[in-house]
Structure 1
Amino acid sequence: MNFQIRKYLNSLQIECKEVLRLGNVGDGGWNICNDDEYRPRKNCTVISIGINNDFSFDDAIANEYGCMVYSFDPSMDKKDYRRSDHVQFYAIGLSANDSPLGNWKMNRLQTIKRKLGLSKIDVLKMDIEENEQTTITDMFANNTMDGVLQFVFEIHVDSNAVTKSKNAKTDLSPRRNKYLQSLANLRIIYNAGYRIFSAHQNPYSLFRYKKTRTRFTCHEISTIKIKLD
């Protein structure tokens, strides 16, 4: 199953002539299309959801384009604060509803946009550790993604890497329900007009089994919005 997702993601759907890696080269950085038609311009806006104490992307895109960046993460034990002239942090997570998750404050994307007074978003970055499985459908409902030009995100297809005994084989295939949900989410994104220009496996999500078998459970995907006929 994991092979089929890799095959789909490796077949890029549109060409971006100039791909910029903003932020860390490894985990924490993201690929942005800098082609004239898609690059962020004056008074650009970025929403970055899922920071995990790594602001390298947020700082880099603010410095590169002068964008106003709104950063969100409820898991960092930080209160809302102004990180710089161009980066504002909120201790809020993204969800399919506006109900709290334990002690974490959670909002839908449409709620976040309404609170910030945003209609146009040059780049939306999302890395929410498997919660995209249930959140993407809500994000793409009711025209919430209208005005988002670039959507970069990570999908998580975890594996059943549980060994019951020393001699048992480990099942490294993704759980069927999450695999199917990931495919359904990719279809939603495609049908909304987003086309993949960059995708790769996150090397930090590698599972190894007896040095001969490997699986990646996370894929970083960068898309741009095209005009549908």
Structure 2
Amino acid sequence: MASRYFTIHIALLTALTLASLYSINSRYYQQHEVNSLLTMTCYNTSTSSKVDSTSRDGAFYSAADIAKPDEDWGKKICPVRELNDLNDFYEYIFTRRIPCDFKMILGGRLLGKSSKMDGDKWVCMDKQYNISPRNCLVFSFGIGTDWSFENDVEKKLGCKVFAFDPTINKRSQRISELISFFNLGIGDSNRTAPEFKVKTNSYGNILNGLGHLNSIVDILKIDVEGSELRFFKDVLEGTPSLLKNVKFIAMEVHIEGKIREFWKYFQLLDCFGFKIWYSAINPFGGGRVVNGRQRGCCYEIVWVQDRSW
């Protein structure tokens, strides 16, 4: 049954009843195998320009004001301040507030004859984040023609992967033992996105339909070519508690013409305990100088929820 194709019906939750096919694999490698796996794939490198890890404070909120795991995040009040200096926006992006000793790169490929890598995501494998090989869960929104991230997650970590993309003309199906694909996009509701005429649904509905509303999500990858604002609006303004169980958010952020909107959501992420530990200009979105500094239209950012798991 695992090898059969299945179709998403008009109602998302009908199709997602097939989620029983994708129960998390509880098998563990022996400890020496796990240690070997991590040794082969972890690095001590960083591309963020600054590190500020002197306290538990966030970029915008003090440690005392950041939401706690046992709070009702839906009732959390997070005052948001206006952006008065554009430099503050870029300072936030390039200040890494979380140190990491063991870094792992997942995915990425060289495009054409260039030496530029695209599609790669980074995750911190430090002990406090408790990413357990063969016992982890990843949601990946936005595939295009590049499956390198999903394949690497399966190969290096053995995580169960749910992958989504409504733009690649591919039927919903089981891709491999651990990777399942859905012809569906992430948005702020169950609807057809007018600009692309593709089916989308909210993060909460997707989690619920797959039976993972209360599951720990080790990595939430979002690379949806500008539609990430819909995700932020839906979750951060409406259902922030959905992020309680998310360890890492790895996102390609498209900021052109939307800096003030992102500024608000960056603050809300900070209020809910998500801090930047990795950031870089997307190699295909740079090439401009603002106030004497290299800037880009797109950034690769990875936030981590700053607590022990």
TM superposition score normalised by structure 2 = 0.63
Q: Distance in 2 between matches of 1:208 and 1:46?
A: 34
SS at 2:218 equivalent:
strand
Residue in 2 aligned with 1:148? 246
Higher relative contact order (CA 8 A, sep 6+): 2
Question: Structure 1: which 5+ residue stretches go unaligned?
Answer: 159-174
* Cα shift readout 1:180-206 (whole Å, capped 9, x = no counterpart): 001111111111111111101101112
Residue 199 in 1 paired to residue 296 in 2? no
Residue in 2 aligned with 1:225? 305
Question: Structure 2: which 5+ residue stretches go unaligned?
Answer: 1-84, 110-116
Contact 1:38 1:150 in 2 (8 A): no
Residue 70 in 1 paired to residue 162 in 2? yes
Match of 2:121 among 30, 34, 41: 30
SS at 2:233 equivalent:
helix
Q: Which amino acid aligns with 1:137?
A: K
Structure 1 pair 40–77 and aligned structure 2 pair: CA distance change class (3 A): same
Residue 107 in 1 paired to residue 201 in 2? yes
Sequence identity (%): 27
Q: Distance in 2 between matches of 1:59 and 1:220?
A: 19
Deviation at 1:136, TM superposition (A): 0.5
More strand by share: 1
Structure 1 pair 68–12 and aligned structure 2 pair: CA distance change class (3 A): same
SS at 1:15 equivalent:
coil
Contact 1:96 1:138 in 2 (8 A): yes
Match of 1:15 among 93, 96, 99: 99
| Root-mean-square deviation (Å) | 2.1
Contact 2:128 2:307 in 1 (8 A): no
Contact 2:163 2:179 in 1 (8 A): yes
Which protein shows a greater Rg? 2
Spell out the pairing of 1:1-229 with structure 2 (5 A cutoff): 3-24=87-108, 26-41=117-132, 42-102=134-194, 103-118=197-212, 119=214, 120-140=216-236, 141-142=238-239, 143-158=241-256, 175=257, 178-207=258-287, 215-227=295-307
